[in-house]
Each structure stands twice: as C-alpha cells, then as structure tokens.
C-alpha cells in the first residue's frame, strides 16, 4: 500500500550510543530505501533515558539530516528502557471508548510511577483469543487483555524539546520494542506464516526481548544490559577511559598481556545477556506450554559481540540469526553498499520500524 509523500515520516532512533536515521519511500513499487545514516553521540549525553546534553544531541541529529540531505522534517521516534513501561494486563471487558475514559484507574495498580506523571496508551489484544486460551486471565467473556504503555511525561517532554531544537516535528512517539516488531512484520501479507519469533535486541544500555507469535506480541521485557557494560568492565580492569575501552572492545587497540582479561569480560557479559534471554524464554514457555518458539532474531549494535550468537544458540537450542530489517525493502545497489547494509541492518532495525510509520498513526 503506498502512502502519500506528505504523510511519510523519517525514522529516528535516538540511542545512548548513536542516532540512527532511516527514510523509506512508500511508493507504488513498494517500500524503497531512500536514506540511511548513523552518527555517534558523546558518552553520557544520554544517561538512563535522560537527555543530559540537549545541544550536543540536537546538533548530532542536525548533522545527520544535513549530511544525508534529508528534506523531510517530520519524524517518528521512540523511547525505551528506564522511562517507559510496557505491560500486558488483564481487566474487565469493556468497549474501547469506555476504556479510553477509565484507563487511568485501570492502570494505576500496574504502574510503579505516579499515575499523574505518565502518558498512558493502550492496545486491546483482540485477535488472539485462541492464542491466549492457556492464559488464566483471559478465560471467559468477562475479561480482556490489554497492552499498557506508560511513559514518563518528563522524558516525553525532553524528547519533544530535543526534536524541536533539532528543527524537527515529531508525529509518532513509539517504543523500541514495538518499532522492532513493526520492522519484523512489514511485508508479511500473512503474519501467521512467521510462526513464533523471539526478538533479542542488545544496544548500548538496553536489552529488549519481544516474543511475537503469529503477528502479536505475547511478551516484552526491557532490561538495563548492553554493550556499555563491557566498556565499564574494561575501564575498571585496565584503567582506561570510556572511549579507549570502546576501541579495545572493537579490536582497535593492541592488548598484549591483557587479552585474557578482556576475553573474560566479553564472556561473562555475554553469559549475563544470554541468561536474561533464557529466563524470559523459560517464562514464555511456562505461560504458553503449547507454544514452540521457532527462532531467535538478534539485533542492536551489541549483537555483534563475538561469540554472543553462538552462545545464545547453544544455551537455548534454537536457531539464532541476525535480524535483517531490509529484507522486504527495495534497495538500489547503486546508492547503497549491500555489504554495509548487511552489517548495519541489526543496528538500524528500530529506525526501520519507525520509518514505516506515517502521520496519523498512534
Ligand atoms: N562490531 C561491534 N562489536 C561489538 N560491539 C559493537 C560493535 N558495533 C557496535 N557495538 C556496540 O553496540 C552498542 C551500540 O548499539 P546501538 O546503536 O544498538 O545502541 P544505542 O541504540 O545507541 O543505545 P541504547 O541501548 O541506549 O538504545 C555500543 O555499545 C557499541 O559499542
Ligand atoms: Mg537503541
């Protein structure tokens, strides 16, 4: 389905390590990749979801738009981690309009933040009655399952100010876990054909798990794990700066007799990520005993840590591969280097999911 140009949005994933931009043209031929870029932001410009260095991040974003000559200033962006809570809740069945009015009351008991300090959104899980039949909470007609999203108002306002400072107009504010899901489901005429897929996304400061069964998310979790943990551990052991630790991590500094130390840091961090993912998948397995997870798709810059995918496959006994968000997007080989796209794909997955959104989307 084509979207008129005036409704198209630029996908902007503002992470604590880098900002990713993806522009997709939704034309008659299908979805065509128009622009793709990534720019690093200085360490600690964004800390625990708070934008500490507004000007620094805004100028990085401006630079990215300018460098890529992106004319469209309407964007879709996302928040995650510390500032947003995504929860499946079971509540008495009611019409969407009524729920709109009473969502604050319904949500209050599920949200650890002050209810007056959050923006609330929800989505009724309708199409998966059969899927949820194992779930006690959804049995019978009297209750329904709702995905609740609560974002801290202060953080939402920070992101709005940031975008304004960068000369952009935000139209969609999504959540990383859903943007990933959106990227996965694009181009699937029949979401049921994909079976059950677990997405595991490891960025710099967050690890997102989203299990999607036949086109619907059945489990999401966001924890504070990520590539930065490795930098911190290297800084502690080798007495180097964050930036030096980053270079060591990426293999850009000779290590000499410290090699074994760094290798152990990699191994123990990867172990903690894999344990976290396994715990989540075990939980899904116990909640839905009849369900079989078909595969794990990994994304985020830190999924490239050597050994991560292999270890995850060993520990879960599942097929593990990199998430390629460009799979169903038309790419002009004269404009983009396919090798680079393959490399950057997992890290750009959230931005791709955002770029698929249009003006008027929730
Ligand atoms: N080749 C690589 N090997 C190991 N780590 C890598 C590699 N490339 C990138 N990383 C790490 O991936 C992380 C950046 O990933 P990503 O861009 O997904 O994070 P982000 O979106 O900026 O952060 P956040 O977690 O706050 O959303 C950094 O920790 C970086 O060091
Ligand atoms: Mg990220």
Task: Give the separation between CA 308 and CA 302, rounded to whole angstroms.
Answer: 9
State in Å: Cα 224 to ligand 1 middle: 13
Ligand number with the minimum distance to the CA of 49: 1
pLDDT tens by residue, 181-239 = 999 988 666 656 668 999 999 999 999 999 999 888 899 999 999 999 999 999 999 99
For residue 49 and ligand 1, the question of a CB distance below 6 A is answered with no
- Domains of the chain, residue spans: 84-150
Q: Looking at ligand 1, which atom is closest to the CA of residue 299?
A: 18
Rounded distance from Cα 342 to ligand 1 centre (Å): 16
Residue to substitute in 179, 301, 323, 354 for testing ligand 1 pocket (most ligand atoms within 8 angstroms of CB) = 301
pLDDT tens for 16-60 read 999 999 999 988 889 999 999 999 999 999 998 899 999 999 999
Q: Tell me which architecture the domain covering 84-150 has in CATH.
A: 2-Layer Sandwich (3.30)
Helix 153-165 / helix 54-68 crossing angle, nearest 10 deg:
50
Ligand nearest to the CA of 38: 1
1 CA to centre of ligand 1 in angstroms:
33
* Residue identifier of the C-alpha nearest atom 9 of ligand 1: 301
Q: How far are the Cα atoms of 5, 28, 110, 249, 323 from residue 302, in angstroms, in the given order?
A: 34, 35, 31, 10, 13
> 3-state secondary structure string, 148-160?
EEEEEHHHHHHHH
């Amino acid at each position: 389905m084509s979207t008129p140009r005036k409704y198209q949005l630029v996908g902007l994933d503002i992470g604590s390590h880098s900002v990713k931009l993806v522009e997709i043209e939704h034309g008659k031929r299908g979805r065509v990749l128009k622009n793709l870029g990534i720019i690093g932001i200085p360490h600690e410009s964004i800390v625990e979801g708070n934008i500490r260095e507004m000007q620094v991040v805004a100028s990085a974003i401006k630079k990215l738009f300018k460098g890529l000559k992106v004319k469209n200033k309407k964007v879709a962006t996302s928040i995650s981690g510390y500032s947003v809570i995504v929860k499946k809740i079971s509540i008495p069945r009611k019409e969407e309009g009524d729920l709109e009015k009473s969502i604050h009351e319904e949500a209050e008991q599920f949200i650890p933040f002050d209810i007056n300090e959050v923006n609330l959104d929800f989505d009724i899980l309708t199409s998966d009655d059969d899927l949820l039949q194992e779930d006690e909470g959804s049995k019978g007609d009297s209750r329904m399952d709702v995905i609740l999203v609560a974002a801290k108002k202060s953080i939402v306002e920070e992101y709005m100010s940031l975008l304004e400072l960068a000369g952009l107009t935000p139209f969609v504010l999504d959540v990383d876990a859903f943007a990933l899901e959106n990227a996965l489901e694009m181009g699937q005429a029949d979401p049921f054909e994909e079976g059950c897929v677990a997405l595991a996304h490891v960025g710099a400061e967050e690890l997102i798990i989203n299990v999607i069964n036949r086109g619907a998310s059945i489990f999401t979790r966001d924890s504070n794990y990520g590539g930065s943990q490795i930098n911190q551990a290297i800084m502690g052991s080798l007495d180097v700066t964050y930036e030096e630790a980053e270079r060591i991590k990426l293999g850009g500094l000779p290590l000499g007799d410290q090699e074994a130390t760094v290798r152990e840091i990699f191994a123990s961090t990867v172990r903690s990520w894999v344990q976290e993912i396994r715990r989540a998948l075990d939980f899904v397995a116990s909640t839905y005993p009849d369900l079989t997870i078909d595969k794990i798709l990994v994304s985020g810059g830190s999924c490239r840590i050597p050994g991560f995918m292999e270890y995850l496959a060993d520990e879960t006994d599942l097929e593990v591969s990199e998430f390629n968000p460009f799979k169903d997007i038309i790419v002009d080989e004269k404009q983009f280097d396919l090798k680079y796209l393959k490399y950057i794909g997992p890290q750009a997955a959230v931005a791709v999911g955002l770029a698929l959104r249009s003006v008027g989307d929730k």
